[in-house]
């Protein structure tokens, strides 16, 4: 790879760009919904407050299913072009078929296995390959791979936050559509979730940037190789 354009417009670029644009919209939607819900709990039910609350909730309710679809497509792309990252995301140490979807595990780098794993049989293969029993390459297939625990848990923070956002926005949309208002319990939840989009986005970038290690350009250029030394005079003691 000698072209800068090949680096920028790489195979993951369309999915990553779309995923990030939607994430930005969701971040704003929950910020608006959370601040509006705070005013709502203080008894402010004016036209402006209700319009902002509805905008945030309905926008999130519409965008999250789209985000899930784009994320699924991004996952298939990652399986093809960054298989080590995907193996770290799912905590898969050995190449196997009928891969479970791990809901909880403590990846152990010393034993190269997962402690206290809880998973749903075969669901991992179905989600990752769109086939029952699909084969996934394990981390042991790669001479170099990212730190597993950080990637594994960052991904689950992102997905867990996304599922909570889906639940809150759909419940809010249903209540607003049916009654024109939301319950105080849901309003409190929306307040607590004011910065949920930011947290999910940050966790997603942890997955992206830690998950590609040790590579800057996968299989071609490592992060260490790309890090240049500063001029000696800029850092030498005076």
Q: Are 152 and 105 in contact (CB under 8 A)?
A: yes
pLDDT for position 1? 52
**Partner residues linked to 119 by β-bridges:** 102
Span 144-157, mean pLDDT? 93
On whether residue 115 sits in a domain, the answer given is yes
25, two tokens: 């919209």
In a domain, 105, yes or no: yes
Residue 227 in any domain: the answer is no
Give the pLDDT confidence score for residue 233 in this predicted structure: 56
When divided into structural domains, the chain yields a total of 1
Q: How confident is the model at residue 230 (pLDDT cuts 50, 70, 90)?
A: low
Dump pLDDT digits (tens) for 60-108.
999 999 999 999 999 999 999 999 999 999 999 999 998 999 999 999 9
DSSP 3-state of 104: strand
**Which position has the higher pLDDT, 229 or 71?**
71
- pLDDT for 151-203, tens place per residue? 999 999 999 999 999 999 999 999 999 998 999 999 999 999 999 999 999 99
Go through 165-187 and write b for each residue having 16 or more CB atoms within 10 A of its CB, e for each that does not: bbebbebbbebbeeeeebeeebb
184 vs 235: which has the higher pLDDT: 184
Does any domain span residue 113? yes
Mean pLDDT, range 202-210, rounded to an integer: 94
Considering the domain boundaries, does residue 225 fall inside one? no
Report d(CA 148, CA 85) in Å as an integer: 9
Q: Do 186 and 171 contact (CB within 8 A), yes or no?
A: yes
Q: Is the model more confident about 70 or about 220?
A: 70
What global pTM score does this model have?
Answer: 0.87
Helix and strand counts by DSSP (H, E) for the chain: 10, 4
In a domain, 110, yes or no: yes
Judged on CB neighbours under 10 Å (0-12, 13-18, 19+), 25 is middle
CA within 13 Å, CB half, 141: 16
The closest of 166, 217, 215, 168 to 189, measured between CA atoms, is 168
159 domain residue, yes or no? yes
Instruction: Count Cβ atoms below 10 Å from residue 153 Cβ, excluding itself.
Output: 19
Parent domain of 93 = 12-141+149-217
Please tell me whether residue 215 adopts helix, strand or coil conformation.
Answer: strand
Could you tell me if residue 224 is inside a domain? no
**Residues 3-52 pLDDT 10s:** 778 778 888 889 999 999 999 999 999 999 999 999 999 988 888 999 99
Phi, psi angle pair for 95, to nearest 5°? -60, 130
Higher pLDDT, 227 or 208: 208
Q: Which residues contact 217 (CB under 8 A, 6 or more apart)?
A: 1, 7
């Amino acid at each position: 790879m000698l072209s800068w354009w090949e680096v920028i417009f790489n195979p993951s670029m369309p999915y990553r760009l779309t995923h990030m644009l939607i994430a930005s919209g969701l971040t704003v939607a929950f910020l608006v919904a959370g601040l509006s819900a705070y005013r709502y709990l203080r008894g402010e039910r004016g036209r402006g407050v209700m319009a902002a609350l509805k905008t945030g909730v309905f926008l999130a309710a519409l965008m999250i299913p789209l985000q899930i679809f784009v994320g699924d497509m991004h996952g298939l792309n990652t399986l093809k072009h960054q298989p080590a990252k995907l193996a770290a995301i799912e905590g898969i140490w050995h190449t196997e078929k009928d891969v479970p979807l791990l809901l909880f595990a403590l990846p152990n780098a010393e034993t190269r296995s997962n402690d206290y794993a809880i998973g749903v049989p075969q669901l991992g293969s179905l989600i990752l390959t769109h086939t029952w029993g699909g084969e996934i390459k394990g981390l042991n297939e790669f001479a170099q791979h990212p730190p597993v625990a950080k990637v594994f848990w960052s991904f689950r923070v992102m997905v867990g936050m996304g599922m909570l956002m889906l639940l809150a926005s759909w419940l809010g949309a249903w209540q607003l559509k049916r009654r024109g208002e939301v319950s105080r319990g849901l309003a409190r939840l929306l307040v607590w979730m004011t910065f949920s989009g930011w947290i999910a986005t940050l966790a997603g970038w942890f997955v992206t940037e830690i998950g590609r290690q040790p590579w800057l350009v996968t299989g071609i250029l490592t992060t260490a190789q790309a890090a240049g030394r500063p001029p000696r005079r800029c850092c030498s003691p005076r």
